[in-house]
Amino acid sequence: MKLGVIGLGHVGLVTAVCFAEKGFEVIGMDKDKKRIQDLRNKKLPFYEPGLGELLEKNFNRLKLTDSIKEIVENVDVVFLCVGTPPLSDGSVDLSQVEDATREIAKILNRYILIVEKSTVPVKTAEWIKRVMSLYVRENIHFEVASNPEFLREGSAIRDFLKPDRIVVGIESDRAKKIFEEIYKDFEAPIIFTDIETAEIIKHASNAFLATKISFINMIADLCEKTGADILKVAEGMGLDKRIGREFLNAGIGYGGSCFPKDVKAFYRIGEELGLDFNLLKCTDKINEERIDKFIEKIKRVLWIIKDKTFGVWGLSFKPGTDDVREAPSLKIVRKIIEEGGTCRVYDPYAMDNFKRDFGENEKIYYAKDIYDASRNAHAILILTEWEEFKRAEFSKIKEMMETPIIVDGRNCLDREKICKLGFIYIPTGRKGCGY
Ligand code: NAD
């Protein structure tokens, strides 16, 4: 069986490379010609641990093309992995899905199974079927299925190859058999269901995880008011198997290309269907407020931001990726600059993407490392919990700073060690020192 993947972004490229790793002949297609050219030269369009090595290893089983014709004429199953970005009203822009579907339909001359892997609102498969029927030649049989992807950037390879579960929404035995064949070497439970259920499982999972993060952030605020410790609260809650410790890390909130857009989209779906999804509005609101709360913390010690210099450690929305889409760093740096401050920013992988998304600004200095970022800083702001930040030489850093303040938006430093060195340390949801 030959597999096709349309859209070679974070999800599509990992999908294509991992299916090749499982022994399938795969054709990966993207309409971005430069991306295809770079990939043919084994140059990755983004940072993902282990992906370069796996691409190299399976290069002979992976064909890369920018031609829709080449993929449609040569595969039995095609995975749609195109982007589904948010529109300004919170709903999902499905134009990339429609575009790819239309292109497939126009060329199709034999049976194909079209699989939604992108995260899409419930009932999107119905639209894919309608678009196919509009453009496809008569008497050509096709099917649509849903197989949402749950991988996380930073651990995408492991998540894809060893998933907790595989969700498949299908409408026929033929489609079921195809998926049984595709996933026969995966050691994970497969949930076969109807398409709407599969579509909802993905959105509901993301909305639930985002809500868990906003919930713990709400509790972190309570801890700050009462002197309790959010790390212990999270540990105490997380040991309960019904709750679990994951996604209970308080801080500056979730970002990335999934949670912010999926929460808003799910809320909109509820609204369109006349359902009250206000819980998700609160999830979103709590998350948005994390930025102002973080800025307030800076002001609590420095009073005025104007004319101050900030060493910004971490720009990606989480460690293990160079992705800055919806990253809190974009909003925090923008606020500081609006108030007249200067930022010396550093991230081990995300500098270029940040520069591209933020745009040129004379108030931003792109530092060589965390030491360069900390020079003459009035405060260090930790926005991503990269491992290397924990291992910094903090006595050296203290010497370089104008005032030794660290505002830890990710609770990633060893509080006792930092406080002993004489820093003013402001973590999230727990006591710090020096203020
Ligand atoms: P992305 O924006 O990084 O990549 C999308 C790719 O599709 C781009 O390379 C683009 O050029 C290509 N494309 C767009 N239209 C095309 C067309 N008509 N033909 C061929 N190529 C086309 O997106 P992503 O982060 O990989 O996410 C893809 C989907 O997967 C989204 O729905 C997202 O919500 C979902 N998802 C993402 C993640 C994640 O961690 N990034 C995890 C799970 C699910």
Q: What is the pLDDT of residues 194-231, one digit of tens each?
A: 999 999 999 999 999 999 999 999 999 999 999 999 99
pTM here is 0.95
Residues 373-424 have pLDDT tens digits of: 999 999 999 999 999 999 999 999 999 999 999 999 999 999 999 999 999 9
Nearest CA to ligand 1 atom 23: 83
Residue 305 CA to residue 298 CA, distance in Å, equals: 8
Residues 149-170 have pLDDT tens digits of: 999 999 999 999 999 999 999 9
Do 417 and 391 form a contact (C-beta atoms < 8 A)? no
Q: How far away, in angstroms, is 97 Cα from ligand 1 center?
A: 10
Phi, psi of 168 (to 5 degrees): -135, 120
Using CA atoms, how far residue 135 sits from 98, 112, 144, 195, in Å, is: 11, 14, 15, 22
Nearest CA to ligand 1 atom 3: 9
Q: What is the CATH architecture assignment of 194-435?
A: 3-Layer(aba) Sandwich (3.40)
Per-residue pLDDT for 304 more than 90? yes
Which residue out of 10, 201, 264, 322 has the highest number of ligand 1 atoms within 8 Å of its CB and is therefore the one to mutate? 10
Nearest CA to ligand 1 atom 10: 7
Task: Please tell me the predicted confidence (pLDDT) of residue 125.
Answer: 97
- Report the DSSP beta bridge partners of residue 77: 3, 113
Residue 286 CA to residue 51 CA, distance in Å, equals: 34
The reply to whether 2-193 and 194-435 are identical in fold is yes
Per-residue pLDDT for 121 more than 90? yes
Instruction: Give domain limits for the chain.
Output: 2-193, 194-435
Q: Is the CB of 116 under 6 A from ligand 1?
A: no
Per-residue pLDDT for 360 more than 90? no
Task: Please tell me the predicted confidence (pLDDT) of residue 138.
Answer: 84
- Interacting residues of 318 by C-beta distance below 8 A, sequence separation 6+: 153, 154, 255, 256, 384, 385
Q: Is the CB of 199 under 6 A from ligand 1?
A: no
With pLDDT > 90 as the criterion, what percentage of the chain qualifies? 98
Which string of b and e fits 326-351 if b means at least 16 CB within 10 Å? bbbbbbbbebbbeeebbbbbbbbbbb
What is the band of 240 on the pLDDT scale with cuts at 50, 70, 90? very high
Is 258 one of the annotated active-site residues of the chain? yes
Superfamily of domain 2-193: NAD(P)-binding Rossmann-like Domain (3.40.50.720)
Residue 290 CA to residue 284 CA, distance in Å, equals: 10
Task: Please tell me the predicted confidence (pLDDT) of residue 30.
Answer: 98
Catalytic residue among 18, 81, 223, 258: 258
Per-residue pLDDT for 334 more than 90? yes
What is the band of 332 on the pLDDT scale with cuts at 50, 70, 90? very high
